[in-house]
Chain A
Amino acid sequence: MVALVLVVLLAALDAAVAAWFPRFDRVSDNFSAAYLEREVEALAHDPPQAIFLGDSVLWGYRLPAADAAPTLLRRKGMAVNNLSFEGGSPANTYAMLRLLEARGVHPRLVVFNVNQKEFSAADSAYQKLHPSLETLSWPLLTGDERKLLTPTPPSTTQKPIEVALDRWVTSFWRFYALRSDLREALFGDVDAVHALDDAIQVASGAKARSDAAHKPTPDRFEGTYDLSPIDPQNVSLIFLKKILALLARDHIPAVALLTPTNHTLLHEFIDVPEYQKNLAFTRKLLERGGVRVVDLDRTFAAGEFIDNDHLTAAGNQRMAGLLGPVLAQ
């Protein structure tokens, strides 16, 4: 009888989660495969005017979701969905497009950003997919595509039996599968302990001291941008070409944003002919692929950046203002 009551209540909770779990302005910092699957299903039924696919620049790094440019466009009445996330790259954008394609989502417009730093093999997302995107898109990729990527390594904090059990429970229990999204919605962090720790750091002033110590200085970005000519074997280039081929095959109009870059901060590293050549090469490739290019590389002033490429709230506001007319065309 006790078990029956428990099962009935858990089933009722799952039904409530299925019916009322919110759709956020953007995927959470630590979004689950279940949330992404749910979002993609919703997009298949109700395709938006534009889907943003990209990295942390379009996601709105270090800013509340309400301050990110895609959210601002939505507030202006445009049917925009933001599927960008921290740790994006051409490989991730391609995997997301494959997922959308496989689930029958046909967006009226795709807006994606191309970030020059992601052509560097040293970039954390160069050959890696976000684990949740990897879960859903891995079966959709060809063998050759998979060979280009480094799969997420097994968890170091969980035993194999725990991982297997976790997968099994996740496969049928929606509330459990969405726990990371739920925690972020409730606590604004990966879990309650981290949220409490953050609150203590803020209250004690430790966060302010840490932020002050992490002011971006040029030396921190040495090596971030690979200035050698983009090689045909470059993984990001290969996936960028695949993005263009997929968009053309599915007749999906697209806008590519050349990512805003803080040239004042990075002056000594990137204000060189090699950087310009790579940027021009990328631009030409995109245009030849039939994609409209919006070059934001030098559009923003140093004061509108948090660091090398992430914009402040004011920077995002200006970006939204620039993108509005482009999307309306």
Chain B
Amino acid sequence: MIENVPGAQNVEEVLAHDPVYQVLGRRLAHPVFLGVVLFLIVVVMIVFGPSTESRFIYTDF
């Protein structure tokens, strides 16, 4: 990849030339975006998490 960016010495410099990273990278670094992502992770973990609550086991036949 470094070979494709003339003059780039490391990955950061390569990414700096990448148009996708320029848009996404800025958003990822934005605190509001990070806060929203963290919020979604917390909600998804709770909704899709395993049930650990004590459950009354109904015994039938």
Interface on A for B, CB 8 Å cutoff? Answer: 1-6, 8-10, 13, 30, 32, 56, 61, 86-87, 124-125, 128, 130-131, 152, 155, 157-158, 166, 175-176, 179-180, 182-183, 186, 190-194, 214, 216, 220-221, 307-308, 310
- Residue B7 CB within 8 A of the other chain: no
- Since A5-B34, A6-B39, A190-B55 are in contact, a sample of 9 more A-B pairs with Cβ atoms closer than 8 Å, ordered by chain A residue number, is A6-B42, A124-B59, A130-B56, A131-B54, A190-B51, A192-B48, A194-B51, A220-B61, A307-B60
- Complex contact A191–B49 (CB within 8 A): yes
Who on chain A is nearest to B46 by CB? Answer: A179
Task: Contact check, A155 vs B52: say whether CB atoms are below 8 A apart.
Answer: yes
Pairs A–B under 8 Å by Cβ, sample size 27: A1-B35, A2-B38, A3-B35, A5-B35, A6-B35, A6-B42, A10-B39, A30-B51, A30-B53, A56-B58, A86-B56, A87-B58, A125-B56, A152-B54, A155-B52, A176-B46, A179-B47, A180-B51, A183-B51, A190-B51, A190-B55, A192-B48, A193-B50, A194-B51, A220-B61, A221-B61, A307-B60
Residues of B within 8 Å of A128, CB to CB, are 56
Residue B32 interfacial (CB < 8 Å): yes
Which residues of B sit under 8 angstroms from A221, Cβ to Cβ?
61
Q: Is the CB of B57 within 8 A of A124?
A: yes
A-B interface contact total, Cβ < 8 Å? 87
Contacting residues, chain A, for B60 (C-beta < 8 A): 61, 307, 310
Asked if B31 lies at the interface with its beta carbon under 8 angstroms from chain A, I say: yes
Partner of B43, one of A2, A13, A186, A307: A13
Task: Provide the residues of chain A in CB contact with B39, threshold 8 Å.
Answer: 5-6, 9-10, 13
Q: Does B1 contact A (CB under 8 A)?
A: no
State in angstroms the CA–CA spacing of A292 and B31 once bound together: 64
Separation of A3 and B36 alpha carbons in the complex (Å): 10
Interface of B toward A, CB cutoff 8 Å: 31-32, 34-36, 38-39, 42-43, 46-61
Q: Which residue of B lies closest to A7 (CB)?
A: B35
Task: Note all chain A residues with C-beta closer than 8 A to B53.
Answer: 30, 32, 131, 180
Tell me which residues across on chain A come within 8 A of B55, comparing CB atoms. 30, 131, 190
Contacts of B36 in A (CB 8 A): 5, 9
CA–CA, A307 to B47, complex, Å?
34
A residues less than 8 Å from B61 (CB atoms): 214, 216, 220-221, 307-308
Which of B31, B42, B51 makes the CB contact (< 8 A) with A2?
Answer: B31
| Complex A-B, nearest 7 residue pairs according to Cβ-Cβ distance, in ascending order | A5-B35, A1-B31, A220-B61, A190-B51, A9-B39, A191-B51, A86-B58
Complex CA gap A279/B47 in Å reads: 45
Q: Kindly list chain A residues whose C-beta atoms are within 8 Å of the C-beta of B51.
A: 30, 180, 183, 190-191, 194
Q: A87 — which chain B residues lie within 8 A by C-beta?
A: 56-58
Task: Kindly identify which residue among B31, B32, B47, B56 contacts A183, using a CB–CB cutoff of 8 Å.
Answer: B47
**CB proximity of B35 to chain A, nearest CB, Å:** 2
Interface centre among B34, B51, B60 (most CB of A within 10 A): B60
Q: Which residue of chain A is the closest to B60 with respect to CB atoms?
A: A307
CB–CB B31/A157 < 8 A? no
The 8 Å CB contact of A191, one of B31, B50, B56, is B50
